[in-house]
């Protein structure tokens, strides 16, 4: 199978899945976070080194205060109780996005998770939280302006991005039926293979993930050649 270094996932369809199951819409978010633990294991089994998850976008701040508060509390609780499992798996965790917009208590929990997993050598989980691709590009521009860099090339600009230390994703998977990237990895996704599935995120299973990896291995990537 073709080598895969990095996979990005847009985890969409939580609320619609919950509605179909007769559950409160917010319960879909909790079930969706539970699915992440499965995905991390599948990625490790496949020998993929980096997993980038779109957990909360800059546009998601426009949702109802009730939903936003629920998500912030859910993130904080999840990062607290699941960190031991992540450490045991040997996975390093990094966060990218506008941290300053997040609750201080959540920022502290994120710092703790990054610190406790920094020695992880069996893969990296990158969580895009309060993230937007355009915001990342603007942040990179402002970083370089502050550094008074006289000339910028792709390599130097890439390093100025929030995700500058990570690989561009070989493929990006979006669940939930929509066929767009929605401001995810705008700079890094230019040569990513895109996979869209109608399966809603909490219902996404290993068989479908493996099928996507198999299809990726068959795709020809010419990159303009």
Torsion, CA 163, CA 53, CA 124, CA 221, rounded to 10? -80
Question: What is residue 2's predicted lDDT score, i.e. its pLDDT?
Answer: 78
pLDDT at residue number 224: 65
Tell me if 88 is assigned to some domain. Answer: yes
- Number of domains within the chain: 1
> Would you give per-residue pLDDT tens digits along the chain (225 residues)?
678 999 999 999 999 999 999 999 999 999 999 999 999 999 999 999 999 999 999 999 999 999 999 999 999 999 988 788 888 999 999 999 999 999 999 999 999 999 999 999 999 999 999 999 999 999 999 999 999 998 999 999 999 999 999 999 999 999 999 999 999 999 999 999 999 999 999 999 999 999 999 999 999 877 665
3-state SS assignment for residue 120: coil
- Number of alpha helices (DSSP H) and beta strands (DSSP E) in the chain: 8, 6
Per-residue pLDDT at 223:
67
Is the pTM higher than 0.85? The answer reads yes
Instruction: Give kind and range of the element (H or E) at residue 89.
Output: helix 83-89
Cβ contacts of residue 92 below 8 Å, gap of 6+?
117, 118, 119, 120, 121, 123, 124, 125
Which residues contact residue 221 at a Cβ distance below 8 angstroms, ignoring those fewer than 6 apart?
191, 193
Examine the residue annotation and report whether 84 is marked as an active-site residue of this protein: no
Q: What is the dihedral of CA 85, 90, 118, 110, to 10 degrees?
A: -30
What is the dihedral angle through the alpha carbons of 14, 15, 17, 22, rounded to the nearest 10 degrees?
140
Catalytic residue among 12, 168, 170, 183: 12
Query: What local confidence, expressed as pLDDT, does residue 216 receive?
Result: 97
Name the catalytic one among 34, 60, 82, 142. Answer: 60
Within-domain flag for 205? yes
CATH of the domain at 127: 3.40.1180.10
* Any domain includes 1: no
Strand ranges for the chain from DSSP E: 6-10, 50-57, 92-96, 124-131, 171-174, 193-196
Give the structural domain span for 108: 6-218
Is residue 12 part of the annotated active site? The answer reads yes
Residue 115 lies in a domain: yes
* Domain assignment present for 45: yes
Token pair 């990159």: residue: 223
């Amino acid at each position: 199978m073709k080598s895969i270094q990095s996979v990005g996932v847009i985890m969409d369809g939580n609320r619609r899945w919950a509605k179909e199951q007769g559950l409160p819409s917010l319960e879909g978010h909790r079930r969706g976070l539970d699915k992440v633990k499965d995905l991390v294991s599948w990625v490790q089994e496949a020998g993929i080194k980096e997993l980038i998850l779109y957990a909360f976008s800059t546009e998601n701040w426009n949702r109802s205060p009730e939903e936003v508060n629920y998500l912030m509390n859910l993130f904080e609780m999840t990062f607290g109780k699941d960190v031991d499992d992540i450490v045991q798996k040997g996975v390093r965790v990094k966060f990218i996005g506008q941290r300053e917009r997040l609750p201080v208590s959540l920022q502290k929990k994120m710092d703790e998770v990054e610190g406790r997993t920094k020695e992880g050598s069996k893969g990296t989980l990158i969580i895009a939280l309060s993230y937007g691709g355009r915001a990342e590009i603007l942040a990179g521009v402002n970083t370089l302006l502050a550094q008074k860099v006289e000339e910028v090339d792709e390599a130097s600009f890439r390093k100025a991005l929030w995700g500058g230390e990570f690989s561009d994703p070989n493929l990006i998977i979006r669940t939930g039926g929509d066929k767009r990237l929605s401001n995810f990895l705008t700079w890094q996704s230019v040569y990513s293979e895109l996979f869209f599935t109608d399966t809603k995120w909490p219902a996404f299973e290993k068989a479908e993930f493996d099928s996507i990896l198999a299809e990726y291995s068959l795709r020809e990537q010419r990159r303009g050649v």
